[in-house]
Amino acid sequence: MRCCFAERAPTRERLTEIFFELKELACASQRDRFQVHNPHENDATIILRIMDQNEENELLRITQNTDTFSCEVMGIFIF
């Protein structure tokens, strides 16, 4: 699966904006599925994710490291 963007892939800042915009659009009962995870308890790695209803599977995962970022949708690496 390949995701196409109009001009180019979004920046890490734009991906963060999109994540929080989606959270704002979600029903109040679903907003807890939007999670910000900091696995190392520092700012080196931040994971933005949307979990399924059972909180077992990640529907969307945006991983931001100090120098890089990646995006996965339902387990498929997009970029």
All structural domains of the chain: 12-77 (3.30.2440.10)
The pLDDT of residue 1 is 45
18-22 long-range contacts, CB within 8 A, separation 24+? 19/48, 19/50, 19/60, 19/62, 22/50
- For the record, the structure tokens of 71 come out as 């995006």
Q: Is the pLDDT of residue 2 over 70?
A: no
The pLDDT of residue 3 is 54
